[in-house]
Amino acid sequence: MSNPAQLVDFPLRRPGQPYPPKQYADFRSREGLVWSHMPTGAKVWLVTKYDDVRAVLTDPRISSSPRHEGFPSVGRTGGVPNPDQVPGWFVALDPPDHDRFRKALIPEFTVRRIREMRPSIQEVVDHRIDGLLAAGSEADLVHDFTSAVPSLVISALLGVPHVDRDFFEARIRLLVTMSSTHDQRDQATREILRYLSRLILVKQKRPGDDLISVMLASGTMSLQEISGAAMLLLIAGQETTANNMALGMVTLLLNPQWIGDERAVEELLRYYSVADMVALRVAVEDVEIGGQLIKAGEGIVPLVAAANHDSGVFERAGDFDPSRSARHHVAFGYGVHQCLGQHLVRAELDIAYRTLFERIPKLELAVPVEELAFKYDGVVFGLDSLPVRW
Ligand code: HEM
């Protein structure tokens, strides 16, 4: 059993060390769970073993709702919007409330639907690469490509005009940065919701073939809920994908033998597990996980990167090896909240990597890896910039 006296500070400080944090191996080797201390002063259970993470994510006595006392927050001032503040923020709703949103949206994210979207994703990627090539022989791949592609794709899917990319990106950045203040988060949330509410009124009059129109047509959500769900999709679809794409570019540049191998995508999702601290939970009844009693009202952080590096499940888990079968990773979570956009992500990463390396075969890093600017302050891990040349 973990000794509550061995309280660790969480999130871990990780500047200068490879990702995921090395301490995860130590945490996994301990019996039970790890009792930790968050920047808000709250104490939470960290879950690092693969089986325990899956158990947390499927136990009905464990809730995703910040409405419950004891719900954790990884930021200094509270990360996740409360569904009372943002109705329709369904990742923070438990069944049965959660089911209504999932049911309306899931037909839009099936493997088949995403396959149909591939030509439009390809077009976005090609257009960005045309821009890179026209601008010269060097670029910041984060700004010019890896942030832009998911942002263009999710905006088109939702029917949000892409000219407003900067408006959204600036506000999303505040929401996914751990050190943002409460006021900054609050204002960013209000501004995004105000924008989306206006857009929804336009779509009500002139429906399109976008997700906002699909939600309106479902007749199962209020206008406020549609704004909240659209905000969730914008944020979830942008930050995670952009960061995984950028980190994956670095790994492929360092391991060029895997460029063009489609198995690299799944392994990069496992290897980086950028949404490590995204799934937050609280126990609503006493529950035992991995031999540890969690009392009702105690917060839980199932760390998906730690689970995906559990060597009992993934041999030589610290190696990047696309030849392994990584499909059972939990980078997209597990259970009822498992990532709605996972097939979309796979398509975006596959098309982006294949096309970029095909069209710019001389692509290389413009700075040594040690000098890359990693996002240590991000709720989602990634890169702030990625200087390349060709
Ligand atoms: C949920 C990871 C991309 C939409 C989740 C969860 C994880 C995750 C771990 C579970 C959260 C929880 O259990 O509390 C990722 C990763 C991505 C990615 C690693 C990219 C590399 C996307 C994209 C979309 C998206 C592109 C966009 C459309 C969502 C939504 C949920 C979700 C809507 C909530 C689902 C629910 O509550 O039913 N994602 N995600 N994600 N993701 Fe993703």
Q: How far is residue 2's CA from residue 231's CA, in Å, rounded to a whole number?
A: 38
Ligand 1 pocket residue status of 287, Cβ below 6 Å: no
Domain that holds residue 40: 4-389
Question: Cβ(72)–Cβ(46) under 8 Å?
Answer: no
Ligand 1 pocket residue status of 337, Cβ below 6 Å: yes
Question: Cβ(193)–Cβ(85) under 8 Å?
Answer: no
- For β-strands 373-374 and 299-302, DSSP reports them as unpaired
Query: Which has the higher per-residue pLDDT, 100 or 173?
Result: 100
Cα of 333 vs centre of ligand 1, distance in Å, is 8
Judged against a pLDDT cut of 90, whether residue 182 lies above it is answered with no
End-to-end CA distance of the chain: 53
Whether ipTM > 0.90 holds is: yes
Cα of 316 vs centre of ligand 1, distance in Å, is 26
Name the CA radius of gyration of the chain, rounded. Answer: 20
Ligand 1, residues 339, 344, 379: which to mutate, most atoms within 8 A of Cβ? 339
Question: Cβ(2)–Cβ(33) under 8 Å?
Answer: yes
**pLDDT-above-70 percentage for the chain:** 96
Cα of 379 vs centre of ligand 1, distance in Å, is 13
Ligand 1 pocket residue status of 232, Cβ below 6 Å: yes
Average pLDDT over residues 296-312: 97
| CATH number, domain containing residue 195 | 1.10.630.10
- Identify the residue whose tokens are 């982006």: 352
Ligand 1 pocket residue status of 300, Cβ below 6 Å: no
pLDDT for residue 324: 96
- The closest alpha carbon to 236, from 106, 20, 380, belongs to 380
pLDDT for residue 85: 82
- State which ligand 1 atom lies nearest to the alpha carbon of 244: 21
Question: Cβ(249)–Cβ(357) under 8 Å?
Answer: no
- State which ligand 1 atom lies nearest to the alpha carbon of 279: 14
Retrieve residue 117's tokens. 């979207």
- State which ligand 1 atom lies nearest to the alpha carbon of 281: 14
**pLDDT-above-90 percentage for the chain:** 76
- Identify the residue whose tokens are 């309306």: 104
pTM for the model: 0.96
Instruction: Kindly indicate the confidence band of residue 82, based on its pLDDT and cuts at 50, 70 and 90.
Output: confident
Instruction: Kindly indicate the confidence band of residue 181, based on its pLDDT and cuts at 50, 70 and 90.
Output: confident
Domain tally, the chain: 1
Nearest CA residue ID for atom 18, ligand 1: 240
Nearest CA residue ID for atom 14, ligand 1: 279
Judged against a pLDDT cut of 90, whether residue 10 lies above it is answered with no
pLDDT for residue 35: 95
pLDDT for residue 173: 86
- The closest alpha carbon to 381, from 250, 187, 265, 189, belongs to 250
Give the tens place of pLDDT for each residue, 322-378.
999 999 999 999 999 999 999 999 999 999 999 999 999 999 999 998 889 888 878
Give the tens place of pLDDT for each residue, 192-224.
999 999 999 999 999 999 999 999 999 999 999
Question: Cβ(119)–Cβ(346) under 8 Å?
Answer: no
Ligand 1, residues 332, 353, 379, 383: which to mutate, most atoms within 8 A of Cβ? 332
- For β-strands 8-9 and 34-37, DSSP reports them as parallel
Cα of 342 vs centre of ligand 1, distance in Å, is 7
- State which ligand 1 atom lies nearest to the alpha carbon of 238: 26
Judged against a pLDDT cut of 60, whether residue 51 lies above it is answered with yes
3-state SS class at 366: coil
Ligand 1 pocket residue status of 38, Cβ below 6 Å: no
- Identify the residue whose tokens are 């796979």: 346
Ligand 1 pocket residue status of 241, Cβ below 6 Å: yes
pLDDT for residue 80: 62
3-state SS class at 81: coil
